[in-house]
Structure 1
């Protein structure tokens, strides 16, 4: 009887010491790919559980709605982009970046290697495909202006997200909105060479391509949880830098239908860019890009750009 009582007491004590996990929803900006490898590495290695978090990672049916679902509380966290975040805040949507994943643009202009279009000045009178996102037109217009051209000197074609097929079929001469860590690999896997015109090399200030976001309200009311989540999240990416293969394995385990060759190359391109947080260089580029968006009339002049990130 005493033995039974001891077992019961020990069980109760053990259960009492177990920390109940907090359920957190994380919405991805796109289907799982190399950009998200650090998340799955962190889950596989128990970093979130160590911080008392059970994270549910999913891709919404409409990734463009992430900032709205985060702001409304439907999702505690989401993956987004600095330009989108600043546009949202300028429209009064109370979202804030709590961690920077990639501090440099991945979006770019691409042309086929044998097209002869290896700089923006050669885009004159060319057809350019884009994914229907207005920001891409603003960026393209600014790049063309640096070459003494205007947006009227090119023909824009909305190809949706079929950027690679449109370029490979030569339906268009160039595309904008293509990630050099993804679409460029797809083109090369088809046996074609690709020219990549990176925005920051042609007059566009550096910006943070991928950021982790939450709502102002959630941050205010759950600061400790946010800190724990960011800690686990950042550790996943930090360790992935050193462990590309294990990171890829974690991505495959979570999303078996992933294109292994594509995403393996993607991780190798991206891992040197994965950073820990907003350092001084990151803050400087964050503010400069905000100033550029104001100058182009994309966001309100009165928007306090620095308030869009967690300090």
Structure 2
């Protein structure tokens, strides 16, 4: 009964947003297969998708959605390029690096998480409370080039001599490196997951977010598609998927437990308490946030912030993308000349027109 009430409320919300009313009762449309390759194992970052799946929102949109975990974190864009998925969840720097390597056919069609989740984390034993405290410290990373570039930018912004800081590649054992005192701090863990987990374990972590310590802001998680798949039929499927996913996130906002329950159905081994805490922490960045002109990491010249209520769920701010891409080029992470084809489009988001918005150009 609770789920029926939530769905009824959701239907009112959808109607209020000008979205097409979905069939009710047994009048379900024909189901078209639609595979989404996740960036990692199911977790709080995907709660809105699993909430939409569990509530039947994709089914009501005529989609037989399969949310598939990748064999390893580096696989999603490769599997997408091979045609093994209709959509992949990835990261802004990973998309830009893939396009720089020649995969110009792929494009971000929506933001799942609006702000950076990557963070600099330290435990009390590390003695790091601010970026300036990194002088003379050991910092664990996963050995990813753009994480090293983040560290370089952070140190420059804090006026710390980079030769005084030792970067240690520990793979994905970032938390363990701090707990074992192998590292004084780590760069690469997510504030909404590892950070929340450490807080729940009373480890009293210091958590510094990338955009607060000098790294240009960006969309952490994005939906990526191949342009060749976006013909009339493919575009229609994508629009229905993104519309249902937006509705799933509104449902999640109304009732975070809907996401927890759906995640536990997908993976019974997940810690329910951690997932619930992580979902609640992440909720604000699941929804569009206009760029802040006062943000030191924001572009020097920025358009006036739009009313956040006017931005569709999944919105990607082109100026933010351009600024982040310029930073990657300044760090020699991107070497090819910029492509004429934009790395992002908002045209498939709920409420956007069939023609690409002028704001994407």
- TM-score (ref. length: structure 2): 0.77
1:252 is aligned to 264
The 1:55/1:147 distance shift into structure 2, 3 A limit, reads same
Alignment equivalent of 2:180, drawn from 169, 183, 193: 169
Partner of residue 329, structure 2? 294
Mapping for residues 1-311 of structure 1, pairs under 5 Å = 19-93=29-103, 94-220=105-231, 222-275=234-287, 276-278=313-315, 282-300=317-335, 302-304=337-339, 307-310=342-345, 311=347
- Alignment CA distance shift 1:306-1:262 (3 Å): farther
Does 1 or 2 have the higher relative contact order (CA < 8 Å, sep 6+)? 1
CA distance in structure 1 between the partners assigned to 2:127 and 2:65 by the alignment: 47
How many angstroms does 1:278 deviate by?
1.7
Q: Secondary structure at the match of 2:120?
A: strand
Residues 45, 127 of structure 1: CA spacing in aligned structure 2 closer, same or farther, 3 A cutoff? same
SS at match of 1:307: coil
SS at 1:277's partner residue? coil
Partner SS for 2:128: coil
Q: Following the alignment from structure 2 to structure 1, what is the Cα–Cα distance between the partners of residues 343 and 172?
A: 28
Over 4 Å off, 4+ runs: none
Give me the CA root mean square deviation.
Answer: 1.8
Q: TM-score, normalised by structure 1?
A: 0.89
Runs of 5+ consecutive residues of structure 1 not aligned to the other structure: 1-16
- Residues 1:110 and 1:302: Cα distance change in structure 2 (over 3 Å): same
Checking the alignment, whether the CA contact within 8 Å between 1:96 and 1:215 is kept in structure 2 is yes
Identify, as 1 or 2, the structure richer in helix.
1
Q: Identify unmatched segments of 5+ residues in structure 2.
A: 1-26, 288-312, 348-361
The one-character-per-residue Cα deviations of 1:132-169 (angstroms, maximum 9, x if unpaired) are 21110011011111223354321121111111111112
- Alpha-carbon distance change, 174 to 28 in structure 1, aligned in 2, over 3 angstroms: same
CA distance in 2, matches of 1:54, 1:305: 34
288-297 or 263-272, which deviates more: 288-297
Query: How far is the alpha carbon of 1:74 from its aligned partner?
Result: 1.1
Separation (CA, whole Å) in 2 of partners of 1:78 and 1:223: 15
* Alignment partners' CA distance in 2, 1:40 and 1:60: 16
* Counterpart Cα distance in 2 of 1:168 and 1:186: 13
Q: Is the deviation greater in 148-157 or in 36-45?
A: 148-157
Q: Deviations over 1:193-235 (max 9, x none)?
A: 0001111111111100011111111124611111111111222
8 Å CA contact 1:41–1:240 kept in 2: the answer is: yes
- 2: CA distance between counterparts of 1:71 and 1:307? 18
Between the aligned partners of 1:42 and 1:59, the Cα distance in structure 2 is 17
